[in-house]
Amino acid sequence: MSDDAYDIRKTHFTSDVGPELDGKEVVLAGWVENIRKLGGIKFIILRDKEGQSQITIPKSNSKLFDEVDNLGKEYVIQVRGTVKKIEKAPQGAEIIPKEIKILNTAISPLPLDPSGKVDANLDTQLDNRVLDIRRPEKTAIFIIRHETANAIREFLIKKGFTEINTPKIIASASEGGADLFPISYYEKEAFLSQSAQLYKEQMSSVFEKVFEIAPCYRAELSRTVRHLSEVYAVDVEVAFNDYEDVMNLLEELICHLFKHIKKNCSKELMALNRELAVPKKPFPRYTYTDIVEKLQKEGVGINWGEDISTQAYRKLGELLEGAYFILDWPTAGKPFYILPRKDDPKLCESFDFMYGWLEMASGGTRIHKKDMLIKRLEEQKLEPTSFSFHLKTFDWGMPPHAGWGLGLDRLVMILTGSENIRECVLYPRDRDRLTP
Ligand code: ATP
Ligand code: MG
């Protein structure tokens, strides 16, 4: 065993090793998951990004047999050896090594056991995130996250959407709101963007169908299992559409996504012990008024016009399973850019897409007439001059448009069955956590 590794490359991943390679020489590389001794045989379980292989060292190879004792958990090693077909081994084959190189060592004890045999609380997991994510059921969450973004992107591009990138450093609040992070920007104050809203609306007047997958920033004061300060949002805006159209689009996307994950992430779902049920179209649609009545009937204290509290959402999650929409919200509680209903302006053409107790997305028909937009800004006690950069684009031919913003992190929560949003983000940011 030597550490003078000149060729660090491998010929195969662990998942390539199977009985069909019997007798072939391979070079694998990865991490020492475990070392076991069983009488006259020593086993190394080698882990790489695809899975695990069993490296079997018989006593007859006395040099390697002794050198196995120099290895520790999470050491990075390269193994050159011969594949041997064997029914009992995982994947039906093992590796009989000719050479084992140590490419790097690791400390012992590690702050967290990546094999998952010793439980660690969420804070310890997050503090030692790299080790934590080496556990297969954690890796699985991020493979599903990767596939989710990938599937959404593919779906929208196929439908003729253009992917855009909008600024995350902005001069004024896009939606008013007190949940903005101020930053020092040269001689001025600026803010981190809380949503792509205004910019995606503007771009609907050029590309007609646009989307963005990007972070947005919310200075959330409360500590909950569904809020972070740095959030990934999937934002969509479509010209010549109303809220019905974009609700249908979202419904189709969600069904497509669940099917995609079921098909392409079966290994990951298994690691998570998760059965994924594809929601059926059409998703139930309840008005805000229906929901308030349902909650009142259940004894939840809520008056028409009020926001739905966390406790009320929890109740809703008990009453309504899976995917559904809540539509026609009170205009006063929704952002200024949402179009009031013509027949009843105290309601607006808005919706939330829900999954159980969790709000996944908000959307609606937008106001495309400048004078109405100014009136709504004033009604919401916002200063139209702060929005002049936006309002002027409404003089240049703004089409009617609609769209939604979908929380990617919450979507991964439901796909993976995670209880806490922090589990679905590599390096979560919240009120208490700014590292690692
Ligand atoms: P909530 O009421 O749950 O705080 P919101 O209505 O303020 O959410 P929107 O502005 O509608 O959020 O943002 C669109 C989507 O982005 C939400 O439906 C949610 O999925 C996600 N989202 C918003 N804020 C957060 C956050 N702080 N942490 C995680 N996801 C968020
Ligand atoms: Mg919302």
312 located within any domain: no
Structure confidence by residue, pLDDT tens digits, 243-272: 999 999 999 999 999 999 999 999 999 999
Burial class (CB in 10 A: 0-12, 13-18, 19+), 289: middle
Ligand 1 atom closest to the Cα of residue 307 is: 2
The confidence score (pLDDT) of residue 176 equals: 67
Distance (Å) from CA 407 to ligand 1 centroid: 6
Answer whether residue 5 shows pLDDT above 50.
no
With respect to residue 303, please indicate whether it lies within any of the assigned structural domains: no
Residue with tokens 């684009």: 393
> Over the stretch 149-191, which tens digit does the pLDDT of each residue have?
999 999 999 999 999 999 999 987 666 667 899 999 999 999 9
Residues 186 and 259 in one domain: yes
- Rounded distance from Cα 58 to ligand 2 centre (Å): 61
Residue 134 lies in a domain: yes
Closest CA to 359 of 368, 350, 369: 350
Ligand 1 pocket, residue 233 CB under 6 Å: yes
> Do 280 and 144 have their domain in common?
yes
Residue-wise pLDDT tens digits, 103-138: 999 999 999 988 877 788 999 999 999 999 999 999
Ligand number nearest CA of 236 is 1
CA of 350 to the centre of ligand 2 (A): 10
What is the Å distance from ligand 1's center to 54 Cα?
A: 45
Q: Is 407 exposed, middle or buried (0-12, 13-18, 19+ CB in 10 A)?
A: buried
Residues 148 and 241 in one domain: yes
Domain that holds residue 196: 129-284+320-424
Q: Is residue 232 domain-shared with residue 333, that is, in the same domain? A: yes
Q: State both tokens at 244.
A: 């019905």
For residue 385, how far is its CA from the centre of ligand 1 (angstroms)?
27
Same domain? For 136 and 186 the reply is: yes
Nearest CA to ligand 1 atom 21: 407
Supply the pTM of this predicted model. 0.96
Check whether residue 176 and residue 34 sit in a common domain.
no
Q: If you average pLDDT over residues 227-246, what whole number do you get? A: 98
Instruction: Say if 326 falls within a structural domain.
Output: yes
CATH code, 332: 3.30.930.10
- 193 and 268, same domain (yes or no): yes
Whether the predicted pLDDT of 73 surpasses 50: yes
Q: Are 339 and 416 within one domain?
A: yes
Residues 250 and 345 grouped into a single domain: yes
**377 and 336 within one domain:** yes
Q: Are 133 and 171 found together in one domain?
A: yes
Query: With helix as H, strand as E and coil as C, how does 242-267 read?
Result: CHHHHHHHHHHHHHHHHHHHHHHCHH
Torsion of the alpha carbons at 184, 189, 195 and 196, rounded to the nearest 10: -100
Distance CA 283, CA 259 (A): 16
> Atom 20 in ligand 1: which residue has the minimum CA distance?
407
Domain count, the chain: 2
Residue 332 lies in a domain: yes
- Cβ of residue 359 lying under 6 Å from some atom of ligand 1: yes
